[in-house]
Amino acid sequence: SRRYPRYTREEVGRHRSPQDRVWVTHGTDVFDVTDFVELHPGGAEKLLLAAGGALEPFWALYAVHNQPHVLELLREFKVGELSPDEAPPDPAAAQDPFAGDPPRHPGLRVSSRKPFNAETPAELLAERFLTPNELFFTRNHLPVPAVDPGSYRLRVEGPGGRVLSLSLSELRSRFPKHEVTATLQCAGNRRSEMSRVRPVKGLPWDIGAIGTARWGGARLRDVLLHAGFGEERAGEWHVCFEGLDADPGGAPYGASIPYGRAVSPGADVLLAYEMNGEELPRDHGFPVRVVVPGVVGARSVKWLGRVAVSAAESPSHWQQNDYKGFSPCVDWDSVDYSAAPAIQELPVQSAITHPRPGAAVPPGELTVKGYAWSGGGRDVVRVDVSLDGGRSWRVARWVEGERAALGRAWAWKLWELRAPVAAGTEVEIVCKAV
């Protein structure tokens, strides 16, 4: 058998584009697949997501690769092997508050490591109606707390000072499991596009700070009624949530929603312990998170520790001094956070996932793909697409979506449009959801 040169993962990581050659690993083997990129049946852009690293995390999501002929084909490109002694443990890690964060999928587009913030790459976003857990965008403000599921207790503060303390198994067994397919979107989704118009502060999200999952858990309504609250409550009340993640001063992440939404059977608010049929991943709130369908992601508190009903909104920084909307004439020096309400329901949204901006498209038939969603459970009835910057429009067709009950359209819809394009033309593609 042949002797191959040895490489470290770092050396492999320097080969991420056709110019620098495209290397990938599988097991302990290193492959130069540059010449295969354009031939890849799944498309060059998808293969390139794995460039410079391991194939396994991607292939785990695309089972078509679990066939002998795929490995055979890969073998033709072998150029080396991984050094047996590479990647020693990092001794500095012990001091780091983020050292306990979970491992993440290398396909995520990272905008900040500590705290971890990352989005689904646009190329994979509309591939599936349900976003795979590993590729679902993550928006963390703080380190991921380590929660022992055995000793976990959810504290629910009932009326008259009564406190309910629920273990994970009590939450699972005492309340019927309810499942909801809902899209979560971060308020900052597509901020990088806004910044091209005028710079704005915050993480530079592209179009992937959004995702859809089938969430399973107890209805918040059932837990609140069990704790002694009623269907109606005179006056203004809010249900406040606290996460188990806390800043160095001990202040937890927190948010609140109006009481009426929390107890409404039609609002489908969950205390979720499942995501797409699996236990909630650590980045998404293990063991229990709130899911508030149709409402800005910030209110869906992860690593839920405490639920309380209060006459005031959550005192948390993220309820009071963030996640609010202002006029374009307001800036960071003049902003008065108390002057605006906290964002709850989000407006209608749609984005193009394919082709990517600036891409060269083959002449002939162009396929445009994307997602559309609205907050508040309002159904998207139509997506219009223009190839001439908005002068003329065509109607896209639905690729995937679920039939939703009236006012409970919590999930996005995926759409597509095919249109002829002549060679050598430049198209400005615009979409609009209604």
Catalytically annotated residues: 40, 65, 139, 186, 323
Q: Exactly one of 118, 180, 298, 414 binds Mo ion (CB under 5 A); which one?
A: 298
Binding residues for Mo ion, total number by CB under 5 A? 4
DSSP letters spanning 209-245: SEEEEEEEEEEHHHHHHHTT--S--SS--EEEEEEEE
To the nearest whole angstrom, how small is the minimum distance from the Cβ of residue 285 to ligand MTE? 6
**Is 142:98 a contact under the CB 8 Å cutoff?**
no
Residue 52 CA to its chain's centroid (Å): 24
**Is 386:393 a contact under the CB 8 Å cutoff?**
yes
Told to check if 415 binds ligand MTE by CB under 6 A, we report no
Question: Measured between alpha carbons, how far is residue 252 from residues 18, 57, 144, 271, 342 in Å?
Answer: 45, 32, 12, 18, 18
Alpha-carbon span 352 to 316, nearest angstrom: 35
Q: Report which of 128, 172, 121, 191 is spatially closest to residue 411, judged by C-alpha positions.
A: 128
Q: Report which of 344, 179, 143, 345 is spatially closest to residue 271, judged by C-alpha positions.
A: 179
Told to check if 257 binds ligand MTE by CB under 6 A, we report no
Q: Exactly one of 229, 253, 371, 410 binds ligand MTE (CB under 6 A); which one?
A: 253
Choices 27-35, 132-140, 405-413, 416-424; region in contact with ligand MTE by CB under 6 A: 132-140
* Distance spanning both ends of the chain, measured CA to CA: 62
Whichever of 48 and 307 has its CB closer to ligand HEM, that residue is 48
To the nearest whole angstrom, how small is the minimum distance from the Cβ of residue 277 to ligand HEM? 21
To the nearest whole angstrom, how small is the minimum distance from the Cβ of residue 322 to Mo ion? 9
Alpha-carbon span 268 to 220, nearest angstrom: 8
**Is 289:275 a contact under the CB 8 Å cutoff?**
no
Whichever of 128 and 226 has its CB closer to ligand HEM, that residue is 128
Could you give the angle at the alpha carbon of 145 between the alpha carbons of 227 and 254, nearest 5°?
A: 50
Whichever of 145 and 401 has its CB closer to ligand MTE, that residue is 145
Q: Exactly one of 30, 33, 187, 223 binds ligand HEM (CB under 6 A); which one?
A: 33
Whichever of 103 and 176 has its CB closer to ligand HEM, that residue is 103
Q: Exactly one of 216, 297, 370, 401 binds ligand MTE (CB under 6 A); which one?
A: 297
Number of H-type helices and E-type strands within the chain:
10, 25
**Is 197:106 a contact under the CB 8 Å cutoff?**
no
Whichever of 66 and 112 has its CB closer to ligand HEM, that residue is 66
Told to check if 219 binds Mo ion by CB under 5 A, we report no
Helix (H) or strand (E) holding 290: strand 289-291
Told to check if 190 binds ligand MTE by CB under 6 A, we report no
Q: Exactly one of 180, 186, 380, 409 binds ligand MTE (CB under 6 A); which one?
A: 186
**Is 32:22 a contact under the CB 8 Å cutoff?**
yes
Told to check if 286 binds ligand HEM by CB under 6 A, we report no
Q: Exactly one of 50, 126, 184, 417 binds ligand MTE (CB under 6 A); which one?
A: 184
Q: Exactly one of 105, 139, 289, 306 binds Mo ion (CB under 5 A); which one?
A: 139
Choices 39-47, 156-164, 171-179, 362-370; region in contact with ligand HEM by CB under 6 A: 39-47
Structure tokens that stand for 27 in this block: 């097991």
Whichever of 77 and 303 has its CB closer to ligand HEM, that residue is 77
Whichever of 117 and 350 has its CB closer to ligand MTE, that residue is 117
Helix (H) or strand (E) holding 9: helix 9-12
**Is 381:401 a contact under the CB 8 Å cutoff?**
no
Please say whether the dihedral angle defined by the alpha carbons of residues 65, 67, 69 and 73, taken in this order, is positive or negative: positive
Q: Exactly one of 8, 17, 67, 321 binds ligand HEM (CB under 6 A); which one?
A: 67
Told to check if 259 binds ligand MTE by CB under 6 A, we report no
Residue 62 touches which of Mo ion, ligand HEM, ligand MTE, none (Cβ within 5-8 Å per kind): ligand HEM
Choices 57-65, 260-268, 374-382, 395-403; region in contact with ligand HEM by CB under 6 A: 57-65
Helix (H) or strand (E) holding 399: strand 397-400
Q: Exactly one of 217, 243, 294, 375 binds ligand MTE (CB under 6 A); which one?
A: 243
Q: Exactly one of 143, 211, 297, 370 binds Mo ion (CB under 5 A); which one?
A: 297
By the criterion CB under 5 A, which residues form the site for Mo ion? 139, 186, 297-298
Residues that bind ligand HEM (CB under 6 A): 24, 33, 36, 40-42, 46-47, 49-50, 55, 58, 62, 64-65, 67, 70, 73-74
